[in-house]
Amino acid sequence: MIQLLNTCIHYKNKPLSLPNINLEQGEILGLSGISGSGKSTVAMLLAGFMTPNSGSVTIPEYNKNTPNPVQWIGQHPERSFNPKWTLLRSLKESFRDNPFDEYLERFSIDKEWLSRYPAELSGGQLQRLALCRALLPTTQYLLCDEITAQLDPITQKTIWEQLLQLCQEKNMGLLIISHEKALLNSICHKIITIN
Ligand SMILES: Nc1ncnc2c1ncn2[C@@H]1O[C@H](COP(=O)(O)OP(=O)(O)OP(=O)(O)O)[C@@H](O)[C@H]1O
């Protein structure tokens, strides 16, 4: 389980209280709320990218030479790839000797794209590669921060269908941050709304 309990973070001396969060492996949790309410901050805390000023965060411990079991994906996949590396190099660096062809098929990723650089792919193509790269054998939780907000409906459907299946198969916990209530209602076991 990953958890936030009574956490508060200070940005420029202004306190921001965050909701309590419990996410089990295999569970799909939705998080919504108006812009600026703290949704991305919740994801940053759960990914271990920051620590709160008060309250407690429970996340898996891991050896820093291995990938984080809590993987985060954001709205701008171009920021998560090295612009000077081909996509193949980025995927190989993450997966090391583990196979990833299965994910290429699942997310309809054309193998030809792998020889390209991030700037040579569309946002939707790159987002599918970012998802593929987050699905390492060690991944226990996936934090999806508005990952399909800019994508066309068909690509969105492919992504969510595959992610739901993978969540079951890999017993992975999924946090879905989205403004789209209909999306959250259709796929989440539980939804938290930040006021
Ligand atoms: N690095 C920072 N420095 C100062 N304030 C910050 C910083 N990061 C976030 N904040 C503030 O904290 C609050 C929560 O931000 P956060 O990005 O978590 O909200 P959000 O709900 O994800 O918003 P959105 O839906 O617009 O992405 C906002 O008021 C924001 O201005």
Give me the pLDDT at residue 152, please. 87
Q: Is 157 left (phi over 0), alpha (psi -120 to 50) or beta?
A: alpha
Average pLDDT, the chain: 95
Residue 54 main-chain phi, psi, to 5 deg = -150, 165
Residue 43 main-chain phi, psi, to 5 deg = -65, -40
- Inform me whether the pLDDT recorded for 171 exceeds 90: yes
Report the half-sphere exposure of 126 (CA within 13 A, side-chain side).
Answer: 21
Ligand 1: nearest atom to the Cα of 38? 18
Report the half-sphere exposure of 140 (CA within 13 A, side-chain side).
Answer: 15
What's the mean pLDDT in 79-87?
A: 95
CATH topology of domain 2-80+123-194: Rossmann fold (3.40.50)
In the chain, domain spans:
2-80+123-194
Given the cut 0.90, state whether the ipTM is greater than it: yes
Ligand 1: nearest atom to the Cα of 44? 18
Give me the pLDDT at residue 10, please. 96
Please give the distance, rounded to the nearest whole angstrom, from the Cα atom of residue 45 to the centre of ligand 1.
13
pLDDT tens-digit map of 151-168:
888 889 889 999 999 999
Residue 79 main-chain phi, psi, to 5 deg = -80, -15
Give me the pLDDT at residue 180, please. 92
Task: Give the residue whose CA is nearest to atom 10 of ligand 1.
Answer: 11
Give me the pLDDT at residue 132, please. 96
* Residue of 14, 18, 40, 178 best suited for mutating to test ligand 1, as the one with most atoms within 8 Å of CB: 40
What's the mean pLDDT in 109-137?
A: 95
- Sorting pLDDT into bands at 50, 70 and 90, what band is 150? confident
- Sorting pLDDT into bands at 50, 70 and 90, what band is 11? very high
Task: Give the residue whose CA is nearest to atom 5 of ligand 1.
Answer: 11
